[in-house]
Structure 1
């Protein structure tokens, strides 16, 4: 049971985030009384659903937002002047 695979959240995690976020928003709007806390709770649900949706779209576009490739790019961009300064 992996949470990430190939630099992105796995499919079941994206689905769970979307369903959980929509469920939190539904419960907030249907059953809680209007207050600042219920608005923050609904906002939290919306954020969860948005993160799940963005991760599923990144999977379709073959983008790896949770990959460590930036470390390799940083090493490739160093120049000899940077190495001499160290």
Structure 2
């Protein structure tokens, strides 16, 4: 059994949800536990960043944006002209 992380050019739903849950959990631990201030700040900021990635990928899925797709390379090549090819050499 192979675990899929990317499906259709975006993260799978279980990965998006787990990123959000892990990020919020880190932030709650940093706010509620009596940790040293440096560790609490690192945990809070990393939790915020992880939850942000999960939320943004969820929004990308909702808007049908595929950030992990390579179709932009095909589009870029379609705009090239003969003069662009001559400049490369």
Moved more, 76-85 or 5-14: 76-85
CA distance, structure 1, for counterparts of residue 34 and residue 49 of structure 2: 18
- Structure 2 gap ranges (5+): none
CA distance, structure 2, for counterparts of residue 23 and residue 82 of structure 1: 51
Structure 2 residue 32 is matched with structure 1 residue 18: no
Residues 21-36 of structure 1 aligned to structure 2 (within 5 Å): 21-36=23-38
1:34 deviation in Å?
5.0
- Structure 1 gap ranges (5+): none
1:32 deviation in Å?
3.5
TM-score normalised by length of structure 1: 0.91
Coordinate RMSD, CA, aligned? 1.2
Residues 30-69 of structure 1 aligned to structure 2 (within 5 Å): 30-69=32-71
CA distance, structure 2, for counterparts of residue 32 and residue 51 of structure 1: 27
- Tell me the residue number matched to 1:79: 81
Report SS of the residue matched to 1:46: helix
